[in-house]
Structure 1
Amino acid sequence: MTFTDRIRPAAVAGTFYPDDSRALRAMIARQLDYARSLLASGALSHLPEGAPKAVIVPHAGYVYSGTTAALAYALLERGRGTIRRAVIVGPTHRVAVRGVAMCRATAFETPLGVVPIDVAGEAKAFGYAAGAAGAGSAVDAGLQAFLNLPNNTRASSSAPAPALLLNDPTHVREHAVEVQIPFLQTVLGDGLEIIPLNAGDATPCEVGDVLRALWGGSETVIVISSDLSHYHPNGYARMLDDETIGRIAGLDLPIHPNRACGAYPVNGLLDVCRERAGALDLRFLGCSTSGDDGVVTLADDERPPMARPDDSVVGYASFAVWQASGPSDAAADDNDADGDTAGDDTADSDTTDDANTSGRSPDPDPDDRGPVLIGLARAAIRERLGLNGDASARDALAAAVADHPWLDEPAASFVTLTEHGRLRGCIGTLQAHQSLGRDVAEHAADAAMRDPRFMPVTAMEYPLLDVEVSVLSEPEPMAVRSRAELERTLRPGRDGLIISDGFRHRATFLPQVWDELPDPSDFVGHLLAKAGLPAGYGWNDGEISCSRYTVTAYQESPGETPQTSRTPRPERETGGRS
């Protein structure tokens, strides 16, 4: 039996979303652009950096709920190149089951192509020995036996996820999982695998155990598929949904199925969030109803006036969950011995110490790290532009890490691109959430192609680009209670600054901005304006929180040595992400 023998065909293409690939791509592109514009507005500037570990998204027809779902998927774009597996859990609308149902397919098909199922990961969670399966390859004997188990076979009580069962009928016409796949194909790209699951009658802990068994590391995202209230007058629906949104955001489970059709999978995620309190950060993003004509209300905003308040509607909301930064994603997963997945390559925390004492020649002086980081950045940009030939940025990163173990250590970075001295793109993060090498490679590609202020870089422009990599220290909270005290405490030319009012107003300047704004009052004033506050805003009661950090900047100019500031422009550090 080969991988292509059991493809589950699209069941709702042409009804819930277009069945023509070009029309589908165009619709998703419009909805993602709308979501990106909302994110770029700064209204959600308080969100954590990096890609979410989990999302809750609606599953109605795209014309009704697509823009609300796109808000979460626009954030998942941050994980492109890193996230390679999506565990998608929806409800059972057509065929009821007791437990959480897998199917015996090896792939799902949509108008955008065929997406393989991580059968080995499924088998491991089910209690079978993991094997290997991939496009065009034979399924090994152990996985073939797993796929040939009779319908309604249940996992044993000793399996990592005892609530799992194999049930094909519940997947045949179910739309809740299917409608998520084209969005995932679009934002995460090629190389994606999925695990499609339908959660029927099950306790929060039972569904939570399934999620814990499949949690994985940074390569895995959890996608929970759920709408909210169904077929109430718009005004009443909004009231019900606002209450449900508050309960989800407060981890107040169980959510009842009459308030969210995907209550069972939602409750499973909330169970994991409650168990890992402090390590997981769940945020409400935005909401709408089918009567809002695709207009999304962001968290903390007031809903728009209702054009047809008596219409019966369905409610939608998006949430995202971030995993707290740590030494590595794998280290965070060590709390769950069953959380490792087949083929998981994120267990760097188990090997880093050995790698640093394995007899490799010592790393070069820190001043010589620049060429390594710049080389990684350029390899990532070349790959995104199709200029690498058969070489890949992932191979370049693996080779560089083999020679330079410090690339495997967690760190936050910004990559800045200039062309003839003018800013061409800048993307970065303020908090370390992955290895430095991967962080630089991802931000380089994104600075070239995804900075919302610029058109994507073209292959013809590549030779004209100058690349700078900035490696950030850990932000340090500043015990200042007033603007005057902040301006006295700042170290011009050295400090990068983050300010936040704890709500929607948050922004940062890299230390490089001191070259353009050397006066602390101007520096703070411009940063306040960037955050959406008046430049002359003053405070005396600690209402603005402040953190500072330093930067080591590496440029391509020969003979240069790292220093904490380099010829920037005031807007260089924004990157559209902070």
Structure 2
Amino acid sequence: MMRFTNNGVENRFPGADRTLPEHAAIRPAAVAGAFYPADAHELRSLIDEQLDYARGLLHDTGFAHRLPAGAPKAVIVPHAGYVYSGTTAALAYALLERGRGTIHRAVIIGPTHRVPVRGIACPTASAFATPLGTVPVDHDAEQQALATVPSLSINDATHAREHAVEVQIPFLQRVLGDNLTIVAMNAGDASPREVGDVIRALWGGPETVIVISSDLSHYHPHYEGRELDDETIQRIATRDLPIRPNRACGAYPVNGLLDACLRKGLPVRFLGCATSGDDGDVALAAADGVHADRPAMAEPDTPVVGYASFAVWEDATSETGTSSDTDNDAADIATNTVISDQQHSNDSDNSSLPADAGTILINLARTALARYLGVNDPSEPTAADIVAAHAWLHQPGASFVTLREHGNLRGCIGTIEAYRPLGRDVAEHAVDAAVRDPRFMPVDADEFAQLNIEVSVLSKPEPMRVGSRAALEHALRPGVDGLIIDDWHGHRATFLPQVWQELPNSHDFVAHLLRKAGLSPRYDWQDGSVECSRYTVHAFEEQS
């Protein structure tokens, strides 16, 4: 007999405790004095020293200018002793302190090193204690997730001596302040979708940050550990599921975040890395976003543990977003327009695209998708060959790929801000649009020949200095501007410029985008509370 929760989803975790007690104890610090100092003053000083190191690294090198403004929505940070991995973790936390005063809840997910679990487990504790004070658990959010996500259960034993979540809390206390609550979870044997469901249930708005706790390889010779970690870093940064536990002890939590990012169309940005043999020296991510220029190894044969930090911002979103069923019509409008080699811009920063860019980009997208579906011709150039033959595809670029079948939308996914080479962005979005658009079943090989592909290359978003809806509608350029709106309370959406074909009136254009973002089409503002940005595109479509 199958067991179902109240939301109709099969319960694959029968017998798991899913009800929190009315009264619960404070979970004491289990690894203070081992992984980090037990003395509050000493702990505070160590964290501040490591944060200062990270701030200097980020700003003195200019690395911070390559990153989006504002605090990350999610981070991946290591969890070893602070003397080993604290400086690597501090890279992410130095960026997270931008959210001080806004972020009030941290959802922390770590692995299980001592007591294994199936699925994801939270404790009954009402708070977690550290030498810096006691941090309350957000039981309301926890209970809501327990009621809706079958893979989440309650298990105190797995949390009792586990360090992966605990070591993140003092950093969070220091960078976010006293007005902080947490949701603490350990992820054991679980699929990316199961952990991703928990993350989506607790995603929240700007008040919430997702913290994933994971180290990388363990106890390989230094030279070998770096090689293994470099491969894992590249896979995480490219959202290449799944990461295996032998490559990252927090693979299950990491995979859950990657699943969430893929479904939301959010890029994962590599910040920097180190090993336990690097004496706290962190190598920053290179310009390609997947490699780092590491320092020389003092003892290449000494066993080490690997560390890396990553961050996710919500400024690069999927065109499909997280819209509800009632918003799907608007999402369809946003992508169901035929444009052929047309530039929606008078001043796009993509004006340097060559005259044959459309032919090359379409061929690249189709070649990448053919290989993924197993219908490629081995004698034809690969996607990598196409990229290698065109230097402009190595430059950073942001794109959307739209698929249609017999004139009907079949998938559309992209990013708003350039963070990786354009060629790679287009190739990966071609696959993402085919198999990761949550509105559709994955495309299969039999459909490949029937697909029509459109590639849109976006300019850099430009903030619009408009304080009201009326001012926004007056400033928009019909037929030219793509628009992003964000109220910083979890309502964010974009329309490509192609939407003007269906909605030529500025008021209607904004109304439909508000609805897509989960707001009323009649929503109005006069106080600048909705942040607006515009961008332009070059759009290229296959000719049938």
Q: TM-score by structure 2 length?
A: 0.56
Q: What SS does the aligned partner of 2:268 have? A: strand
Is 2:236 the counterpart of 1:248? yes
| Residues 175-194 of structure 1 aligned to structure 2 (within 5 Å) | 175-194=163-182
* Counterpart residue number, 1:46: 66
1:93 aligns with 2:113: yes
Question: Where does residue 24 of structure 1 map in the other structure?
Answer: 43
Which of 294, 313, 326 is 1:322 aligned to? 313
Q: Distance in 2 between matches of 1:336 and 1:20?
A: 52
Hey, what does 2:189 align to over in structure 1?
Answer: 201
Residue 217 of structure 1 corresponds to 205
- State whether structure 2 residue 300 is matched by structure 1 residue 298: no
**For residue 276 of structure 1, what is the aligned residue in structure 2?**
264
Match of 1:13 among 16, 32, 39: 32
How far apart, CA to CA, are the structure 2 residues paired with 1:167 and 1:553? 50
Offset, 1:548: 9.3
Q: Partner residue of 1:525?
A: none
Cα displacement (A) at 1:250: 1.0
Tell me, in whole angstroms, the C-alpha distance in 2 between the residues paired with 1:256 and 1:310. 24
CA-CA distance at 1:324 after TM superposition: 2.4
- The residue type paired with residue 99 of structure 1 is G
Instruction: Report the Cα distance in structure 1 between the residues aligned to 2:179 and 2:157, rounded to whole angstroms.
Output: 27
Q: Percent same amino acid at aligned positions?
A: 64
* Superposed counterparts of 1:306-385, under 5 Å: 306-324=297-315, 334-335=323-324
Work out whether 1:229 is the aligned partner of 2:248. Answer: no
CA–CA separation in structure 2 for the residues paired with 1:549 and 1:217 = 23
For residues 189 and 335 of structure 1, do their structure 2 counterparts lie closer, same or farther at Cα, with a shift above 3 Å needed? farther
By how many angstroms is 1:254 displaced?
Answer: 0.8
User: Which position in structure 2 is the counterpart of 1:83?
Assistant: 103
Given candidates 100, 119, 125, the residue that maps to 1:105 is: 125
> For the structure 1 residues 46 and 169, does the alpha-carbon distance in structure 2 shift closer, same or farther, using more than 3 Å as the test?
same
Q: Does the 8 A contact of 1:46 with 1:502 survive in 2?
A: no
User: Counterpart of 2:272?
Assistant: 286
For the structure 1 residues 166 and 553, does the alpha-carbon distance in structure 2 shift closer, same or farther, using more than 3 Å as the test? closer
Where do 5+ consecutive residues of structure 2 fail to align?
1-19, 287-291, 327-346, 354-393, 397-457, 468-544
Residues 192-216 of structure 1: CA deviation (Å, up to 9, x unaligned): 0000000011111111111111111
Distance 2:64 2:133 in 1: 33
SS at match of 1:217: coil
SS where residue 267 of structure 2 aligns? strand
Aligned counterparts of 2:233 and 2:465: Cα–Cα separation in 1: 42
Report SS of the residue matched to 1:231. Answer: strand
Indicate conservation of the 8 Å contact 1:7/1:109, yes or no.
Answer: yes
Q: Give, in whole Å, the separation in 1 of the partners of 2:464 and 2:144.
A: 43
Q: Displacement of 1:281 after TM fit?
A: 2.1
1:45 match: secondary structure: helix
Aligned residues: 323
Displacement after TM superposition at 1:335 (Å): 4.4
8 Å CA contact 1:255–1:263 kept in 2: the answer is: yes
Look up the SS of the partner of 2:212 in the other structure.
strand
* Aligned with residue 126 of structure 1, among 126, 146, 157: 146
Conserved 8 A contact 2:79-2:163? yes
Following the alignment from structure 1 to structure 2, what is the Cα–Cα distance between the partners of residues 68 and 304? Answer: 14
Aligned partners of 2:66, 2:193: CA distance in 1, in Å? Answer: 30
Instruction: Indicate the SS of the match to 2:219.
Output: strand
Change over 3 Å in CA distance of 1:94–1:479 after alignment to 2: closer
Counterpart in the other structure of 2:87: 67
Q: Residues 92, 479 of structure 1: CA spacing in aligned structure 2 closer, same or farther, 3 A cutoff?
A: closer
Structure 2 CA distance for aligned equivalents of residues 2 and 204 of structure 1: 29
C-alpha deviations, 1:354-403, integer Å up to 9, x for none? xxxxxxxxxxxxxxxxxxxxxxxxxxxxxxxxxxxxxxxxxxxxxxxxxx
Between the aligned partners of 1:190 and 1:272, the Cα distance in structure 2 is 28
- Aligned counterpart, 2:358: none
The 2-side partners of 1:315 and 1:479 are apart by 39
For 1:253 and 1:219, the matched residues in 2 are separated by 28
| Cα distance change on mapping 1:552 and 1:94 into 2, 3 Å | closer
CA distance in 1, matches of 2:189, 2:64: 35
The equivalent of 1:409 in structure 2 is none
Note the alpha carbon deviations across 1:103-131, whole angstroms, 9 max, x for none.
0000000000000000010001111xxxx
Deviates more, 1:255-264 or 1:316-325: 316-325
- CA distance in 2 between counterparts of 1:293 and 1:550 reads 42
Deviations 1:61-109 (A, max 9, x none): 0000000000000010111111110000000000011010110000000
Query: In 2, Cα distance between the equivalents of 1:2 and 1:263?
Result: 30
On the 8 A contact 1:216/1:333 being kept in 2, the answer is no
* CA spacing shift, 1:112–1:334, aligned 2, 3 Å: farther
Q: Which amino acid aligns with 1:259?
A: R
1:102 and 1:53, CA in 2 relative to 1: closer, same or farther beyond 3 A?
same
User: What is the root-mean-square deviation of aligned Cα atoms in Å?
Assistant: 3.1
Partner of residue 475, structure 2: none
Identify if the C-alpha distance between structure 1 residues 190 and 480 changes in structure 2 by more than 3 Å, giving closer, same or farther.
same
Alpha-carbon deviation of 1:546?
8.6
1:548-563 equivalences in 2 (<5 Å): none
Secondary structure of 2:244 counterpart:
coil
Relative to structure 1, the CA distance from residue 23 to residue 305 in structure 2 (aligned partners, 3 Å threshold; closer, same or farther) is same
Q: Check if 1:260 corresponds to 2:248.
A: yes
Matched letter for residue 294 of structure 2: R
The one-letter amino acid of 2:144's match is: K
Distance, in Å, in 2 between the alignment partners of 1:16 and 1:201 is: 25
Partners of 1:3 and 1:161 in 2: CA distance: 20
